[in-house]
Every structure is written in structure tokens, then in C-alpha cells.
Amino acid sequence: MRSLHIAATGMLAQQTNVEVISNNLANMNTTGYKRRRAEFQDLIYQNLRRVGSQSSDAGTVLPSGAQVGLGVRTAAIYRISEQGNLQQTENRFDLAIRGNGYFQVQLPTGEVAYTRDGTFSLSPEGVIVTAEGFVVNPGINVPAAARDVTINASGEVLVSLDGQVAPQNVGQIQTAIFANEGGLVAMGDNLFLATPASGEAQAAAPGQPGHGSLMQGFIETSNVNTVQEITSLITAQRAYEMNSRIITASDEMLSTLTRLR
């Protein structure tokens, strides 16, 4: 019976759906996390009577055929790039992007990764780094004698030094945008890598066309909506149960056949 296989694909699809939802809920407090959404597609169909085929020698055709679907499969898991809330931290090296863009991070392998997590600090050498110690491009060094550090909306890093009235510009943080953000591949630690699907990174100063501005002393929270995720979880659970009942019903029907004498 096809229904056994069809219901099994439905259960597998809802299992994937629950896994995506559980990952969203697990990261509801992860800085800069973007929630995911599973999308599904129906599988191929078997034609019992092909639509449009001739039904007689007079040339009449079937106005509607008979097709039986073979189930469902996972098509994609999309990342929703909706802006998360901005939470004030009072940490002068915490940064949030208000709008589009990603911070650029230099990995030890030489690759450039991208992140929305602006929880930054200083390395022992005074370089602005991520929580993992990776350098934030373009590698800005803050003097140890700096009394205060200001990072304005356009990414300029200004330090106040003793004996100087005007603040000194020691560098500018740049952000990167992509033609297709959904094409970025997640590698954990709130980092992403560019792929052929995302296109090349387009780096520029914050505030330029297409790039969001920076806010010092803020971080971007996760954009997970707890109520929405719980509602989706209940829906997925009910769908899983209904598919399991189809398997039970199909099994009972097969048992009826085996009892025939």
C-alpha cells in the first residue's frame, strides 16, 4: 500500500520540522541568531490515467486524469533575516548593526567569516576581536593609553588620549552585504561563510547605500518569536500524529487482507 510509504515521508518531514523549531527555541537567547523555517515539496506522482490522453477513437481526451502522490520531502530550510531587538549593554566594544550588513571576521585559516554578533572586546595586543579571539576586519588597534573609545554610526573608531583635545581616528569598521543572504552557510559560533549562492561580499562603511548603521553599546538579540515557535511546534506534533494514524490504519487494512479465507 502506497499509504504506508506516504505517511512515513510525512512523519520524516514533520520530524525535520520539529528539529528546526527546537533549534530556534534553543537559540532564543543567542546574540544575532536568525530563526529558520523548514519548507517542503510534494514528491513525484504516479499517473493512473494521464490527463489529456485520448479516451476514444473519436479524439476525445480526458479532462482530468488520475494521479497519486508519493509523499513529501524537505525542500529547504530558510533563514529569516528579520532584524532582532537591540539590547543596551553599556559595553563600549559591543556593536549592533541597525539594518543590513555583517561584520567581517578574519579566521585563523585565512578565510573571512561574517557575523551579526557584535560582542567584541580587545585582545592582549589591543586589537578588536570577537568572543573567540578572531580579529574583526580590518584589524583596528586601540592604544593602551586611550582614555575613552567611541565608535560612531559610520564605523569610525575614535580614541581620546591624554594631552590631545580632539579624538584620534584609529580605523573604521566595515560591514559586508550580499545579493542573497540566504546563500550564506552557517559554520557555528555565530559565523557564516560566503558561497556561490550568496554571491561575493560587498564591503563598505556602515551607513552607505544598502548598509545599516552601527550602534555602540548595543547588541542584537535573537529574532526568535517564542509564541510563534510554540504554535508551530503544536502544529507539527499534530501532523506527525495524523501521519502515524495513517500507518496504523494501513496496517489494520493489510491485517484484514491476511485474515481472508
Within this chain, do residues 104 and 186 fall inside the same structural domain, yes or no? Answer: yes
Chain length of the chain: 261
* Domain count for the chain: 2
Q: Is the pLDDT of residue 153 over 70?
A: yes
Within this chain, do residues 206 and 228 fall inside the same structural domain, yes or no? Answer: no
Within this chain, do residues 213 and 237 fall inside the same structural domain, yes or no? Answer: no
In the prediction, which pLDDT does 34 show? 94
Contact (Cβ atoms closer than 8 angstroms) between residue 162 and residue 146: no
Q: Is the pLDDT of residue 53 over 90?
A: no
Residue range(s) defining the domain that contains residue 8: 2-79+224-258
Q: Is the pLDDT of residue 42 over 70?
A: yes
Within this chain, do residues 117 and 73 fall inside the same structural domain, yes or no? Answer: no
Q: What does the mean pLDDT of the chain come to?
A: 91
Within this chain, do residues 117 and 198 fall inside the same structural domain, yes or no? Answer: yes
Within this chain, do residues 101 and 177 fall inside the same structural domain, yes or no? Answer: yes
Within this chain, do residues 140 and 211 fall inside the same structural domain, yes or no? Answer: yes
Condensed to tens digits (0 to 9), the pLDDT of residues 194-211 reads: 999 999 999 999 999 999
